A and B are shown apart, each in its own frame.
Chain A
Amino acid sequence: MCISFSSYAHEMTPAYFKLKPSYIKDVSVTSMKLFNRREDVEYYDIEVFTFDWKPIPFASEYKTINIGYHKSKLFDVYIRDSDIKKVVYICTQSKLFKSKDQITLITSRICSKIR
């Protein structure tokens, strides 16, 4: 049995994002920053939701971000103007490897809200 007592963290900023027009017609964009202090995690999913947690289509350089331990990554999220009124949350969620030794695993999700 393997027990982990070291601390690993997941952070994302800003807490409140603002969408602004992008260089693509009818598409808005916002920039987010993810910071990975979880040694046990290398991948994070980006997700966009309505107020009642229904997924909204979006585009980004990465849908799943590969990020090293103690590294930060800036990413842009592009959303169609027709969806802007529905957008409330942009989240990143940690992805866990199935083959980890731990019997219980913790997945973390941090969500920023539209300003």
Chain B
Amino acid sequence: MDIKTITTLVFLMPASAALAVDSPIGGTVAPKCSVWTETTGVYGHPLPYKLSTLPADGGVVASIRVDVAQADYYKTRFTHPASFSSSPTLTDAVAWTGSTVVGVVGVAGMSAYEAAKVTYNNVTEFNMTLAGSTWFSVASTASYGSTKSLPAGNYTAIIKAECIAK
């Protein structure tokens, strides 16, 4: 190979390399929130007057995952039950308790949601300041009357999970 050919090749190579990399791929991530119902929760019946989703009471705590595509665009709100949506006829009052806590987090910083949560009545609010997935556990307990036995039948209660643009 003579010097002329080598010089020509040296000048041609960068030009062909530049052509090869010039093919951009575009994409957009829009602000979006998805509410995933992972485990719907089940009441255990540890005592004649009590229904509880706590594992210690034989229940299963509801698990809800919230995916946020962009940070600081949404807040989430969980409402644990304060009444049965369907049940046998109850002649006495039912005392309801419940809670919502941050479970598994996709980003370490999301653990701070728990300390920053706002709770009122049977509602718990979280400010979703980071993008990614957060799992929330919602527990519920119903105690009937003054330790009266719950009548036999099917009981259903509803948890509400909301994702609200800020």
Chain A residues proximal to chain B, CB less than 8 Å: 1-11, 13-16, 37-38, 40, 89, 91, 96, 98, 100, 102-113
Contacts and interface: CB of A to CB of B under 8 A. Distances in A.
Contacts of A16: 31, 165
Given A105-B158, A106-B159, A108-B162, A7 B38 contact: yes
B140 A104 contact: yes
Q: Which 4 A-B residue pairs are closest in the complex by CB-CB distance? A: A113-B165, A15-B31, A104-B41, A108-B35
B164 A111 contact: yes
Nearest to B53: A104
Interface of B: 30-43, 51, 53, 60, 62, 64-65, 67, 73-74, 81, 85-86, 140, 154-166
A36 B66 CA distance: 15
B34 A9 contact: yes
Contacts, number: 122
Contacts of A96: 158
A97 to B, nearest CB: 10
A108 B160 CA distance: 6
A37 B41 CA distance: 19
Nearest to A103: B43
Nearest to B69: A15
29 contacts: A4-B37, A9-B34, A9-B36, A11-B32, A11-B35, A14-B30, A15-B31, A15-B74, A16-B31, A40-B40, A89-B164, A89-B165, A98-B85, A100-B156, A102-B40, A103-B41, A103-B157, A104-B41, A104-B53, A105-B85, A106-B40, A106-B160, A108-B37, A109-B35, A110-B162, A110-B163, A112-B165, A113-B165, A113-B166
Contacts of B166: 113
Contacts of B51: 103
